[in-house]
Structure 1
Amino acid sequence: MRTVVIWCPDWPVVAAASSAGLPMTIPMAVVAANRVIASSAVARSEGIRRGMRRREAQGRCPELVVFDDDPVRDARLFEAVAAAVEELAVGVEIVRPGLVAVPARGPAGYFGGEEAAAERLIDQVADRAGVECQVGVADGLFAATLAAHRGVLVPPGTSAEFLAPLAVNELAQPGGPERTELIDLLRRLGLRTLGAFAGITERDVATRFDAAAVQAHRLARGLDERPPSRRRPPPDLSISEELDPPVERVDAAAFVAKSLADRLHAGLAAHGLACTRLGIYARSERDEELGRVWRCAEPLTPNGIADRVRWQLDGWLRTGGPTAGIRTLWLAPEEVVEGKALQLDLWRGEGHAEAGEKAGRAMVRVQGLLGPESVYTPVLGGGRDPIDRVRLVPWGEELTPTSDPALPWPGQLPAPSPAVVFPAPFPATVVDESGEPVQVTDRDLLTAAPAKVGINGGPPRPVANWAGPWAANERWWAKETRCQARIQVLLGAEPTQAALLLAYNEGTWTVHAHYD
């Protein structure tokens, strides 16, 4: 989707200087954990760089003004920028303080093109908020963000070409997922540009790296980080709170934010969901309605939800948003994804901690009656075969995997893992369109595309889709005479489809696992 991104350079410094009443003509920097996280243009001209230690920065520029990192301050003052953009475009989403995104279709159609819309947005932010900004337009949020950093408009359908010459360091954006190790590994492998990384097939990335690297690979190719098949939550997942007395102070707003965040996360977790776009809405005592949408690269945790609600309320209350206290507050998960990455324990939702404690006592009681080997906890570790990755640990013992899951495992199946792994595989037949058996060559390639699969002597079923093969034996090129590989197949048509994991060994196919 064509996206317009409005970026305010050095926003933490701009916000800190505005709060302190200082001009941008003096060298300034914002530090966190004694390291520079943002600096003004004047400071950079003195040699101040991101990641530099505070003492070194002050040594290079003795007149440097140093501010502590304050996300609340940054979000509060950025509300004026978001409000200015909202006067010209609908669908405003705050990605992080300093960066806001809107769909390009509306402003481009109204102002007569994307270039004209970009010029109007720059003037609007300067006039209404009094700060400078840069605008970028491209296909997708990631490409549009990098376009905004350079102040360019990327033509439709050319985001991949625009990203190709950029360094892989661009994958690490402020407020986004931690990708330092991935970037370091890519550079050591000689993949120094996004185009070089994008040139690798997704299959090879999934085989060599983890799921997070596959997401980064999609960005390098100019695609969205997640496929577009998002589920909108049913309306009953939105939560609201009538505030009595109405909230007028920031400290009271922080208390309300924590309560609502816990309730929203519990409701989403009960449905196996997590929020990636959070709508925050309020109504004042004088029936003034306010609203803002926050976008997050990673699914929001309870603390992440609470922070954004607190930041937004702080921005409204301190910048004169409502003319009276906030009477009603409600949160709406505008976009959700599967919450498997954030799932808590079996007993989750409201009171999950107390329920987990009770269950733990019950497990210990069972062990006292039947022995320590009567209750197990599964631990997922590293490995190539799904059944080898799971280790059953007796309840109460240290949950350590058999092997490190963070290590590279060539031939490891990409996520998601199978739901059921059969204790004993059963035979299968795999044939192509002409009815000839499909085999795996000594270079881990199929001799033909699978067309039909028969299971345990049953009638063949048509293959709707398939993926693979993935090598199960990384030393096939040495002295091994056989080739082992796995493929995933989707059989039949809805609603009776079946997703299976098949393994090939010395000319024979077997079924090893089933996917939900």
Structure 2
Amino acid sequence: MNARTPARVLALWCPDWPAVAAATEAGLDVTVPIAVFSADRVLACSATARTLGVRRGLRRREAQARCPELHVTRADPDRDARAFEPVVAAIEALAPGVEILRPGLVVLPARGVVRWFGSEETAAETLIDAVAATGVECRIGVADELSTAVLAARHDALVPVGEGAGFLAPLPVSDLAVEPVLAAPERVGTVDLLRRLGIRTIGAFAALSASDVASRFGPDVIAAHRSARALPERPPSRRSIPPELRVELPCDPPVERVDAAAFAGRTLADLLHARLAAAGVACTRLLVTARTEAGEEHARTWRCAEPLTPEGTADRVRWQLDGWLTGRNANRPTAGIIRLSLEPVEVVAAGALQLGLWGGVGDADERARRALVRVQGLLGNEAVCIGVPNGGRGPSERIVLVPVGDEAVPHSDPDAPWPGRLPPPAPALVLHTPPAIRLDDDVGEPVTVTERGLLSGSPARLRWGSRGWTVTGWAGPWPVDECWWDPASARCAARLQVRLGEARALLVLFGADGWRVEGIYD
């Protein structure tokens, strides 16, 4: 009996997609060096930037030092998804059944498209031409297994049937963690451990005994070991999905704006996850479908490595509808959305999620989030924000406000050294508009900070408006000399902690306009 031919998988990868999406939205030419930053480190950069020395993981200052003309932008998953919508539409026009792993990477069963075009080579060339018509470059990989196909796409390779292990063997072991959507977050640390143990290639990792790997590592590394050997991956869950898990939301009046569509998506995500929790399952593959008054339908399938949360589901609905409603492809709807539906395509046991004490996935947090979302719907997206730890030297810089529902990404890396940072404890109250004060020494002369970062005299008297206090103690100063290389954004200042009697202490800041109160201690 002949062995059954494996179900081949085709992966299509658009390199440097966050940088491509940022350049598209900014209207920049492809030759302009551009880098996308997250937490003050390079998340992605264009090919031009790489030729000038910019690399992923570099700090912003080092990246700009290597390439002074670098165009800098922040990471924006919504922007990435919006810009990717025309690409998905172009692929789906030729090959239905596209699954989006993330913006910039899709997979689909190769069998149908290969039978239609006659061969894998012809199918790949046709899809590349279709994507190129949208102004985007892409690479395609075909292999027996999904993870192998994704790595093959990065090398623009069509792996022959049954030769996945041979293709993977010479690749660096770090490639097993190159796609976060196919790996657990801890896999990066595991790969680093393997490298320190002398295991540098995927082939060397595959040569390890399966029992040894299982006894030393967790389920994610066991799955990575199977992928390294190009063994059949875990098949889709064969559990029959009850039809009542599919949720729909009629939209009356019809939805035509992105913010209204996003709010409807959040409501529907809450309903879906309530039903999933009641059924004891979690969703790893989701079909999002929208229908308009004119009968137009827009459907996308989203696959995730980890079970979806309500926030993750709402994000994917917003990304998909944003790209459709804003008309970034030729299939822009001609009427408003009248029906929105979410359908779980694959589910796993609810044990894949960390359940709350009383049976829900973070019930208290979910109730609080829903309340904030309702207020946000009434007052606007920017009206309801949460604090995110941020990098900086002063207390007002250590926290940034991010709208509820957006990715909690800081502007700067909070774990960076930050020379001159104010030591703990932080002030209990940080003033939004620091008021001006006067700080004098014991002979009544104003106290300043010299160019060497030293006080011109010992503080003895502080005057704030019409009131004055005797200074009984002080600490500092902590000088700050930021962006000295850029006159437009350069800043030179110094902070000082001042104690007034036994019951009050202030954090004061000295700058070009004199002393100001930045914070108050309890």
TM bin, normalised by shorter chain, reads: 0.5 to 0.7
Matched-pair contact (CA < 8 Å) for 1:143–1:159: yes
Same amino acid, percent of matched pairs: 61
Residue type at the aligned position of 1:155: P
Matched-pair contact (CA < 8 Å) for 1:266–1:348: no
Asked if 1:43 is matched to 2:58, the reply is no
TM-score between the two structures when normalised by the length of structure 2:
0.66
Q: How far apart, in 1, do the equivalents of 2:258 and 2:75 lie? A: 19
Alpha carbons of structure 1 residues 349 and 287: separation in structure 2 relative to 1, 3 Å: farther
Paired position in structure 2 for 1:265: 273
TM-score between the two structures when normalised by the length of structure 1:
0.66
1:325, distance to aligned residue in structure 2 (A): 1.1
Asked if 1:206 is matched to 2:214, the reply is yes
Match of 1:347 among 358, 362, 380: 358
1:209, distance to aligned residue in structure 2 (A): 0.9
Deviations 1:246-289 (A, max 9, x none): 11111112211221112212211222211111100011011211
1:40, distance to aligned residue in structure 2 (A): 0.6
Stretches of structure 2 that go unaligned for 5 or more consecutive residues are 1-6, 369-522
1:348, distance to aligned residue in structure 2 (A): 3.4
- Report the 3-state secondary structure (helix = DSSP H, G, I; strand = E; otherwise coil) of the residue aligned with 2:308: coil
Match of 1:216 among 216, 220, 224: 224
Q: How far apart, in 2, do the equivalents of 1:148 and 1:348 lie? A: 41
Residue type at the aligned position of 1:251: D
Deviations 1:112-133 (A, max 9, x none): 1111100000011112x12111
- Report the 3-state secondary structure (helix = DSSP H, G, I; strand = E; otherwise coil) of the residue aligned with 1:187: helix
Alpha carbons of structure 1 residues 3 and 189: separation in structure 2 relative to 1, 3 Å: same
Matched-pair contact (CA < 8 Å) for 2:143–2:164: yes
Matched-pair contact (CA < 8 Å) for 2:145–2:233: no
Matched-pair contact (CA < 8 Å) for 2:237–2:346: no
Paired position in structure 1 for 2:85: 79
Match of 1:318 among 322, 326, 330: 326
What root-mean-square deviation, in Å, do the aligned CA atoms of Structure 1 and Structure 2 show? 2.0
Paired position in structure 1 for 2:299: 291
Match of 1:33 among 39, 47, 59: 39
Residue type at the aligned position of 1:194: I
Q: Within 5 Å, which residues of 2 pair with 1:29-428?
A: 29-127=35-133, 129-176=134-181, 177-178=184-185, 179-223=187-231, 225-319=233-327, 321-349=332-360, 352-353=363-364
- How many residue pairs get matched? 356
Alpha carbons of structure 1 residues 192 and 173: separation in structure 2 relative to 1, 3 Å: same
Stretches of structure 1 that go unaligned for 5 or more consecutive residues are 358-516
- Report the 3-state secondary structure (helix = DSSP H, G, I; strand = E; otherwise coil) of the residue aligned with 1:206: helix
Q: How far apart, in 1, do the equivalents of 2:157 and 2:303 lie? A: 22
Residue type at the aligned position of 1:291: A
Deviations 1:381-404 (A, max 9, x none): xxxxxxxxxxxxxxxxxxxxxxxx
Matched-pair contact (CA < 8 Å) for 1:8–1:99: yes
Q: How far apart, in 2, do the equivalents of 1:308 and 1:159 lie? A: 32
1:61, distance to aligned residue in structure 2 (A): 0.5
Paired position in structure 2 for 1:493: none
Q: Within 5 Å, which residues of 2 pair with 1:449-468?
A: none
- Report the 3-state secondary structure (helix = DSSP H, G, I; strand = E; otherwise coil) of the residue aligned with 1:155: coil
Alpha carbons of structure 1 residues 329 and 355: separation in structure 2 relative to 1, 3 Å: closer
Paired position in structure 1 for 2:396: none
1:166, distance to aligned residue in structure 2 (A): 0.9
